[in-house]
């Protein structure tokens, strides 16, 4: 991984980010470059109570600030992607959201791409408001990409799809998640016989058509899924966008599982690890060493 602070990821200055969407490279271009130069790794920022305690920190705003600052200072200048889980900040109210705002800005300034893990999903003006909150360059929570849920119908995501494209940002759409409960929805078949997951992936492929080297719209596909990838044979992971792959580490998947799960789409996989790296804190140096080791493992598995 590249330890320099000249970020390969964001492709613009912070000033250009304010109303400068026209000058921003597309998300897929920036993500491909970040993965190629810093290593194919996304590290979650998940300050849940148990992890704060493991670090010797209180489950309070001071602990949240210390944890978040340590992770950002240790990793933002060297990993491709940081993925803050918004719920762990929102639970502290406005002060927690303020910590999240600083983390997003400082991570992007250091060159990391920021994927906001908020899993938003709604319709009409409400979906548009979520898009404004996370994908509008004038927002204090402006991120490079946002996780979203398509389970009010893929068309409900249209405001976020349009906002992301206009702002040079991306989306990661829940398709085949790593939690076992997801199968009851994602593996269900519609009237055309296709699974819900396959339908979502098909929509993403159409949205990404013609985009190089990656389209702006990726899917969340769990690395834990193994041979039962979709409960059927109708899933095509070659969607032209990145595949965010959670489930490595604490949920049981390893780098060695990736080729079996992702097949011909392996080159577009962005492995996501949280506790596997964060458990090495609060030492910043230990966090850096853990992230570097994981990035090497992932690069070898994806080669």
pLDDT at 20: 43
Of 245, 255, 193, 297, which is closest to residue 81 (Cα–Cα)?
Answer: 245
pLDDT at 24: 85
pLDDT at 23: 62
Give backbone dihedrals phi and psi of 156, rounded to 5 degrees, phi first: -65, -20
Quick one: tokens of 299?
Answer: 């690069």
pTM for this entry: 0.92
pLDDT at 249: 82
Find all residues with CB under 8 Å of 192, minimum gap 6, and list them.
Answer: none
Please give the Cα distance from 193 to 288 (Å, whole number). 47
Enzyme catalytic residues: 119
pLDDT in 10s for each residue of the chain, 303 residues: 443 344 556 664 443 444 444 468 999 999 999 999 999 999 999 999 999 999 999 999 999 999 999 999 999 999 999 999 999 999 999 999 999 999 999 999 999 999 999 999 999 999 999 999 999 999 999 999 999 999 999 999 999 999 999 999 999 999 999 898 999 999 999 899 999 999 999 999 999 999 999 999 999 999 988 755 544 457 899 999 999 999 998 788 899 999 999 999 999 999 999 999 999 999 999 999 999 999 999 999 998
Of 78, 168, 152, which is closest to residue 120 (Cα–Cα)?
Answer: 152
pLDDT at 252: 84
Length of the chain equals 303
The helix/strand/coil state of 181 is helix
Q: Please name each of the domains of the chain with its CATH number.
A: 20-225+237-302 (3.20.20.70)
């Amino acid at each position: 991984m590249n330890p320099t602070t000249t970020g390969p990821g964001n492709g613009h200055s912070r000033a250009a980010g304010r109303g400068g969407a026209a000058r921003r490279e597309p998300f897929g271009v920036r993500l491909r470059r970040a993965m190629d130069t810093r290593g194919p790794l996304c590290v979650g920022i998940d300050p849940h109570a148990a992890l704060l305690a493991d670090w010797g920190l209180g489950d309070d705003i001071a602990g949240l600030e210390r944890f978040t600052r340590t992770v950002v200072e240790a990793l933002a200048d060297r990993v491709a992607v940081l993925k803050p889980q918004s719920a762990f900040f929102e639970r502290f109210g406005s002060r927690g959201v303020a910590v999240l705002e600083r983390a997003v800005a400082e991570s992007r300034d250091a060159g990391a791409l920021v994927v906001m893990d908020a899993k938003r999903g709604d319709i009409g003006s409400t979906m548009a408001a979520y898009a404004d909150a996370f994908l509008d360059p004038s927002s204090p929570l402006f991120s490079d990409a946002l996780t979203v849920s398509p389970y009010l119908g893929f068309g409900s995501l249209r405001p976020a799809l349009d906002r992301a494209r206009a702002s040079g940002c991306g989306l990661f759409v829940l398709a085949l998640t790593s939690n076992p409960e997801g199968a009851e929805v994602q593996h269900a078949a519609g009237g055309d016989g296709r699974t819900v997951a396959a339908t979502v992936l098909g929509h993403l492929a159409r949205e990404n058509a013609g985009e190089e080297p990656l389209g702006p719209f990726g899917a969340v596909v769990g690395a834990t899924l193994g041979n039962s990838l979709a409960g059927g044979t109708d899933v095509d992971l070659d969607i032209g966008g990145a595949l965010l792959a959670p489930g490595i580490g604490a949920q049981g998947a390893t780098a060695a599982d990736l080729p079996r799960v992702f097949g011909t789409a392996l080159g577009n996989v962005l492995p996501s690890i949280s506790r596997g790296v964060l458990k090495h804190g609060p030492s910043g140096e230990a966090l850096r060493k853990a992230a570097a080791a994981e990035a090497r493992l992932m690069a070898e598995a994806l080669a």
